[in-house]
Amino acid sequence: MKESTTSSLQARFVTESQSEMTELVLPNDTNPLSHLLGGRLMQFIDLVAAMAAYRHARAHVVTASMEHIDFIAPVHVGDLVILKASVNRAFRTSMEVGVKAWVENAIAGTRHHIASAYLTFVAIDANGRRVPVPPVVTEGGEEARRYEDAGFRRQRREQEKERKRQNRAAYETAVKGAT
Ligand SMILES: CC(C)(COP(=O)(O)OP(=O)(O)OC[C@H]1O[C@@H](n2cnc3c(N)ncnc32)[C@H](O)[C@@H]1OP(=O)(O)O)[C@@H](O)C(=O)NCCC(=O)NCCS
């Protein structure tokens, strides 16, 4: 069982905020081939992820980023899209949420995985100021693996931010030197 130490708030189990959503794919959601639009699927993913983050933080949340989204197979009009979201890890004011989506053909009685994504949400108060979020408590297995992986992804994002900062600084120095 793992618990982050970044907050004095009461820690919450992953299962307390897990969220699920089911959508019927209608013609308005599709392209001329009657396949679900990628942007519409991203909207479903953002919504179900926001529900989990909102439940975990018990505060307003905004999407800071959506990363690593794979669209594995097309979804057709008339299919059901089932989405499940879990808070993988909470940091100081941000949380990583993982979403997995499946398509179900109710007539054929089949279900398969179509997409996965990781999103980061930041908790804010009514004035838009960032607020701390409670730590996540995992109960082993997949939850513990996702918790660890979320830490690696955050590390990678921070390294990338630092690399961009250094590139910008080097560019500004070069421009100043040339004038
Ligand atoms: C997301 C937002 C609140 C971050 O504010 P900020 O002043 O840049 O904050 P900071 O850089 O100090 O980071 C605050 C937290 O957000 C995280 N964060 C910021 N940008 C991030 C990004 N692109 N990806 C992942 N995490 C991010 C930081 O790691 C930090 O987490 P921590 O408190 O847990 O350590 C701000 O950029 C914002 O309001 N964006 C618009 C959100 C919105 O409208 N979303 C809807 C999309 S249309």
Atom 46 in ligand 1: which residue has the minimum CA distance?
A: 63
pLDDT band at 33 (very low <50, low <70, confident <90, very high): very high
Reply yes or no on whether the pLDDT at 176 is more than 90.
Answer: no
Q: Provide the pLDDT for residue 164.
A: 93
Reply yes or no on whether the pLDDT at 11 is more than 50.
Answer: yes
Atom 48 in ligand 1: which residue has the minimum CA distance?
A: 63
Alpha carbon distance 142, 82 (integer Å): 20
Ligand 1 atom at minimal distance to the Cα of residue 90 = 34
Q: Cβ of 148: how many Cβ atoms within 10 Å?
A: 13
Task: Look at phi and psi of residue 143 and say left if phi exceeds 0, alpha if psi is from -120 to 50, else beta.
Answer: alpha
Find the residues whose C-beta lies inside 6 A of ligand 1. 62-65, 91-94, 120, 122, 130, 157
Say which residue, 68 or 131, is predicted with more confidence.
131
C-beta of residue 115 within 8 angstroms of C-beta of residue 101: yes
Give the lowest-confidence range in 8-12, 61-65, 84-88, 118-122.
8-12
C-beta of residue 135 within 8 angstroms of C-beta of residue 9: yes
Rg, Å, the chain Cα set: 19
Reply yes or no on whether the pLDDT at 97 is more than 60.
Answer: yes
- For residue range 105-153, what is the model confidence (pLDDT) as tens digits? 999 999 999 999 999 999 999 999 999 999 999 999 999 999 999 999 9
CA-wise closest residue to 94 among 157, 48, 32, 145: 157
C-beta of residue 146 within 8 angstroms of C-beta of residue 100: no
Q: Provide the pLDDT for residue 96.
A: 98
Reply yes or no on whether the pLDDT at 2 is more than 80.
Answer: no
The rounded Å distance from CA 116 to ligand 1 centre is: 21
Ligand 1 atom at minimal distance to the Cα of residue 95 = 34
pLDDT band at 8 (very low <50, low <70, confident <90, very high): confident
Q: Provide the pLDDT for residue 151.
A: 97
**DSSP helix, strand, coil percent of the chain (3-state; round to 5):** 35, 35, 25
Give the three-state DSSP class for 155. helix
Reply yes or no on whether the pLDDT at 3 is more than 60.
Answer: no
Q: Provide the pLDDT for residue 75.
A: 95
Superfamily holding 12-178: Hotdog Thioesterase (3.10.129.10)
Give the three-state DSSP class for 160. helix
Alpha carbon distance 42, 71 (integer Å): 10
Ligand 1 pocket: which of 95, 122, 127, 129 to mutate (most atoms <8 Å of CB)?
A: 122
Alpha carbon distance 83, 102 (integer Å): 6
Q: Provide the pLDDT for residue 69.
A: 87
Ligand 1 atom at minimal distance to the Cα of residue 120 = 25
Per-domain boundaries in the chain: 12-178
